[in-house]
Amino acid sequence: MLIVLMLGVTAVNAQVTKKYRFVNGQWVEETVAAVPVDTVAADTASDEEWVDYFDINGEKAEEKEFEIDTTLDVHNRMLPTTLFMPMIFDSYDVMLTADSTAIEGRETPAPGPLDWVNDRNDAMLRYQKLRQRYMIDNARHVRYNINTLPEAPKRFRAFVDPTTAHITVEEISVDKSEVKGAVDAVEVKKIHWLQQFDGMIQFSQAYNSPNWYQGGNNNLNTIIQGVYNARLNQTFHPNLLFENTVQYKLGLNSAPDDSLRNYSISEDNFQINSKFGVKAAKRWYYSATLQFKTQLLNNYRKNTNDLSAAFLSPGELNLGLGMTYEYSTPSGNFKTNASIAPLSYNLKICTNDKIDERQFGIKEGHTSVSQYGSNIDCRLEWKLAYNISFNSRLTAFTNYEYLQGDWENTLSFSINRFLSTQIYVHLRYDSTTGRYEDSKWHKWQLREVLSFGFSYRLGRL
């Protein structure tokens, strides 16, 4: 490296030009031929490149020595020449940050005697960051591994031995037999189906001593639920929408008022939902939907042997053609979709002859009824916090003579991976429902459950 400076100095009746060269780490002074007064030359001695020279007081210098800043050190600001050689991988340091070129300065009140050490350490750290970042971003250009070279240089590490309070230096040895010369290509398989399973069992319990002043009954309520979901991965199939869900929910209550049974079934619902769509526009799909639901267990009225519900009594199948809208935030904390089917077919069946089919809208003496109309299915998933989520689903069907709708809302609080509490509210409307005695609800029906228990999730969704 060669730096040339020329300074014009004015003396009485004399003109002197001094020339300085930075050679081998030090300044060398030379005296050259006289030049015009009050000028300084930067690189050449041509008249066009001469400029007036003034001192810091604005007066022309009569006699001024050229002062060199001996504290200036640019060595630590320059990249070592080894950086431009073929890269050799030696190790990966997780302590190095992602920003490979940032200068981590230290704020000190005044220069200290060890500033040169800190400066040198910062320079080395910048070099290591830049080198590691280059190898990560350009892995295919890193052809060498220091451990597989014919003669790998010895490496050492220093650590403090607390027993002797001394610094110990030892050589780092590497077993070459355990080092692979090349990385085998890993075959990445496409995951076309994203699957998820949620399992939950929750309880609510109450106990009253026989002499409790307000009276009351002991009871134990149990809710068991399992949901399996399989969805086509839209990363590989961006123009298709295909989602299938199978779920089962069972609610059992102790029945101290029932003289024939110790328990009663508050909820028994087996349901299959399927949706297939082809992309029509942004977030819109031409879609076909399917929904099937029924009860699996026999359910009896209190203190009687009269069946109120059983398997396929009732059973309901709904098919629809229409459009589906889907939206999800980039973070995935908010998801919503709505399926609107102007063309819909609904089938209700009751196969058990011990159950009155008229309560399901089926004519007496028949086992099924077919209806044509329109259907809507809207869903919302909202993650309010890392441990709080809200799910809502609204379904409705009408044949333009009657309307049936269900609105289910679930607010879940996760205590940890296995414990959770849940508030479930189900509002139902059926225009064909008759008025029950001593009931103010008429066509509206409501179910609310607050429960606590165990939950587990497994899957990729």
What mean pLDDT is predicted for residues 227-245? 94
Q: Assess whether pLDDT exceeds 80 at residue 298.
A: yes
What mean pLDDT is predicted for residues 309-338? 94
Do 328 and 213 have their domain in common?
yes
**Domain edge (last residue) among 112, 147, 177:** 177
For residue 10, is it within any domain? Answer: no
245-251, long-range: CB < 8 A, 24+ apart: 245/271, 245/272, 245/273, 245/274, 246/271, 246/272, 247/271, 248/296, 249/223, 249/224, 249/225, 250/223, 250/224, 250/225, 250/297, 251/221, 251/222, 251/223, 251/224, 251/449
What mean pLDDT is predicted for residues 376-383? 96
For residue 422, is it within any domain? Answer: yes
Q: Assess whether pLDDT exceeds 50 at residue 38.
A: no
Do 231 and 152 have their domain in common?
no
Angstrom distance (rounded) from CA 267 to CA 264: 9
67 neighbors 20 (Cβ within 8 angstroms): no
Element (H, E) at 368: strand 368-385
For residue 7, is it within any domain? Answer: no
Maximal C-alpha separation, the chain: 134
For residue 183, is it within any domain? Answer: no
| pLDDT band at residue 458 under the 50/70/90 scheme | confident
The CATH number of the domain holding residue 388 is: 2.40.230
Q: Which residue has the higher pLDDT, 416 or 12?
A: 416
pLDDT digit string, tens, across residues 126-144? 888 888 888 888 888 888 8
**Domain edge (last residue) among 147, 177, 207:** 177
- What's the total number of domains in the chain? 2
Q: Which residue has the higher pLDDT, 334 or 38?
A: 334
Do 79 and 153 have their domain in common?
yes
Do 104 and 227 have their domain in common?
no
Do 158 and 205 have their domain in common?
no
Angstrom distance (rounded) from CA 343 to CA 321: 5
Sign of CA dihedral 172, 173, 178, 183: positive
| pLDDT band at residue 372 under the 50/70/90 scheme | very high
Structure tokens at 51: 């400029």
For residue 57, is it within any domain? Answer: no
Q: Which residue has the higher pLDDT, 315 or 358?
A: 315
Do 453 and 378 have their domain in common?
yes
| pLDDT band at residue 432 under the 50/70/90 scheme | confident
266 neighbors 253 (Cβ within 8 angstroms): yes
What pLDDT shows up at residue 317?
Answer: 96
Q: What is the pTM of this model?
A: 0.60
Q: Assess whether pLDDT exceeds 50 at residue 41.
A: no
Do 120 and 241 have their domain in common?
no
37 neighbors 51 (Cβ within 8 angstroms): no
Q: Assess whether pLDDT exceeds 80 at residue 236.
A: yes
Angstrom distance (rounded) from CA 273 to CA 315: 14
216 neighbors 190 (Cβ within 8 angstroms): no
288 neighbors 277 (Cβ within 8 angstroms): yes
What pLDDT shows up at residue 66?
Answer: 61
Do 171 and 210 have their domain in common?
no
Could you tell me if residue 216 is left (phi over 0), alpha (psi between -120 and 50 degrees) or otherwise beta?
Answer: left
What mean pLDDT is predicted for residues 287-291? 96
pLDDT digit string, tens, across residues 180-194? 666 677 787 889 999
Angstrom distance (rounded) from CA 79 to CA 83: 7
109-114, long-range: CB < 8 A, 24+ apart: none
Domain hosting residue 119, numbered range: 75-177
High-pLDDT (> 90) share of the chain, %: 39
Element (H, E) at 352: none
pLDDT digit string, tens, across residues 92-125? 777 665 554 455 555 545 566 777 777 888 888 8
What mean pLDDT is predicted for residues 212-227? 80
Q: Which residue has the higher pLDDT, 20 or 85?
A: 85
Q: Assess whether pLDDT exceeds 70 at residue 167.
A: yes
For residue 19, is it within any domain? Answer: no
C-alpha distances in Å from residue 242, one per residue of 158, 229, 289: 59, 11, 10
Q: Where are the alpha helices (DSSP H) in 94-208?
A: 115-137
Q: Assess whether pLDDT exceeds 80 at residue 76.
A: no
What mean pLDDT is predicted for residues 404-424? 93
The per-residue pLDDT of the chain, averaged, comes to: 80
What mean pLDDT is predicted for residues 328-336? 91
For residue 30, is it within any domain? Answer: no
Do 218 and 142 have their domain in common?
no
Angstrom distance (rounded) from CA 28 to CA 167: 43
High-pLDDT (> 70) share of the chain, %: 74
Do 154 and 203 have their domain in common?
no
| pLDDT band at residue 346 under the 50/70/90 scheme | very high
Do 295 and 428 have their domain in common?
yes
Do 131 and 227 have their domain in common?
no
What mean pLDDT is predicted for residues 28-33? 61
**Domain edge (last residue) among 177, 201, 223:** 177
For residue 44, is it within any domain? Answer: no
What pLDDT shows up at residue 14?
Answer: 44
What mean pLDDT is predicted for residues 290-315? 93
Lowest mean pLDDT among 293-297, 300-304, 375-379: 300-304
